[in-house]
Structure formats: structure tokens, C-alpha cells
A and B are shown apart, each in its own frame.
Chain A
Amino acid sequence: DAGVIQSPRHEVTEMGQEVTLRCKPISGHNSLFWYRQTMMRGLELLIYFNNNVPIDDSGMPEDRFSAKMPNASFSTLKIQPSEPRDSAVYFCASRAGQSNSPLHFGNGTRLTVT
């Protein structure tokens, strides 16, 4: 099992540019989560999908952020336009079932917006 796969590992972009982060969950997992991690705010849940359907997006900071899950094996998090305060590590995580099963994290994407 390759685990949760995220790309790119690092992204450096200029303010105002569009950024797209990608995630492939573990095969068979039906829940997918996007988290943002910063020193100041820790791990913040941005959005959560269950069976490809967005369940809770209350953590999405602004309309500049959007997420999609077109199928069970792929999700994207898009920021448009990006701002320097969006600089953070973005983690994708997946979990099997709706019960209290462990959350598996990807290696994250370190985003730097200059």
C-alpha cells in the first residue's frame, strides 16, 4: 500500500497565482480530509469528503479556497488567487468507513506564496 499520495511536495508561487494541490487517498478509503498546518494555528481541518461528497467545508477560510473530489481516488484543493498568508503545509488524509478508524496522512505539500 503506497499510502496517501500528495503532489507536489513543494510549491512556490507568486501572490495572485492559482495553486492546485492534489491527493490520492488509500484505495478503499471512503473519507478524505484536507488539513492546513501552520505554526500559529496548528492543524486546521479545511474540508471533509465522505463517498466523494463534501460533508463539512466550514473550515475553508475564504471563497478563494475550493476543493473537489471527482472520484474515489482523487481530490484537489485549489487556491485562487493565492496570498502570502496562505503559506503553510497542506495535508490530505483518508480513512476507511465512517466509524472511528485511524486517519492516515499524506506527506503534505509545503506551499510558499511570495
Chain B
Amino acid sequence: GENVEQHPSTLSVQEGDSAVIKCTYSDSASNYFPWYKQELGKRPQLIIDIRSNVGEKKDQRIAVTLNKTAKHFSLHITETQPEDSAVYFCAASTQSPNAGNMLTFGGGTRLMVKP
């Protein structure tokens, strides 16, 4: 099955700096890569996703890049703010043998933005 590795496990940045989180995946057939943000005590929420037919996608201060050849994708947050502090999860789709796609999650990155 799919295996998703995420680095770093913790990341501390100064407010205003950029943060980059990287993930690798193993299944070359994976074609959907979402990123989730989970604040303390809350549910994971989708912040951005990318499909394999594009190499980059941006939404205000966040962007995701995808390199299908190397099987890695990254989340970039610019001009970080204290409210960006959370755990971020990457995920990759895995084709179920019977129906649909399942998501395999990375281990998460705890981002701390210091004011």
C-alpha cells in the first residue's frame, strides 16, 4: 500500500518568516494530495489540495508544489502568523481495489509560530 513520510515533525519559525513542510509518497499511481490543518483539540480541516495534473497551486499565503517524478510534494506558508500554529498533515490518495480512493496520511508536522 501507500506510504507517506512527512518532515519535519516539528517546526518553529518567527512570525513573518516562511515555513516549508515536505512529504514523500511511495505509490506512483497516487494522484490527489491534500493538506490538512489541525488546531489543538479540533478536527483536521482541509486547507489546500493538488491533483497530479498540475505542479503548483496557490491560495493567498499558502502554496503546494508537486513533483511526480520524485514523488514528493511540499506545503509553503509565507508571512506566517501566530494563528498558523497547528499540526499540519499531508496525505496521498491510494486506489482501493474495490471502489474509490483512500487517503494515507503523513505523520504530521507541529508548526509553532513565535510572535
A residues whose Cβ falls under 8 Å from a Cβ of B: 31, 33, 42-43, 45, 48, 50-51, 55-56, 91, 97-100, 102-108
On whether the beta carbons of A103 and B42 are closer than 8 Å, the reply is no
Q: Which residues of A contact B36 (CB under 8 A)?
A: 105
Residue numbers in A under 8 Å from B98 (CB-CB): 50, 55-56
**Does B88 make an interface contact (CB < 8 A)?**
no
Q: For the side of the interface on B, what is the size category? A: 20 to 34
4 additional A-B pairs beyond A104-B46, A107-B43, A108-B43, beta carbons within 8 Å, are A33-B102, A48-B100, A99-B101, A105-B45
**How distant is the Cα of A104 from the Cα of B49 in the complex, in angstroms?**
13
Which of B34, B36, B51, B101 has the most chain A CB within a 10 Å cutoff? Answer: B101
A87–chain B nearest beta-carbon distance, Å: 16
Choose from B31, B34, B43 the contact partner of A106 (Cβ within 8 Å). Answer: B43
Majority secondary structure of chain B interface residues (helix, strand, loop or mixed): strand
Closest approach, in angstroms, between the C-beta of A56 and any C-beta of chain B? 6
Q: Is the interface of A mostly helix, strand, loop or mixed?
A: strand
Q: Report the separation of the CA atoms of residues A43 and B100 in the bound assembly, to the nearest whole angstrom.
A: 20
- Report B-chain residues with C-beta under 8 Å of the C-beta of A107: 42-43
Chain B residues with CB under 8 A of A43: 44, 89, 105, 108
Name the residue of chain B whose CB is nearest to the CB of A110.
Answer: B41
Asked whether A45 and B43 contact (CB < 8 A) given A100-B93, A102-B49, A103-B34, the answer is no
State the CA gap A97–B98 with chains docked (Å): 14
Bound together, the chains give a CA A105 to CA B103 distance in angstroms of 13
In the assembled complex, the CB of A110 is this many whole angstroms from the nearest CB of chain B, namely: 9
Contact A42 B107 (CB under 8 A): yes
B93 contact set on A, CB distance < 8 A: 100
Which residues on the A side are within 8 Å of B31 (C-beta)? 100
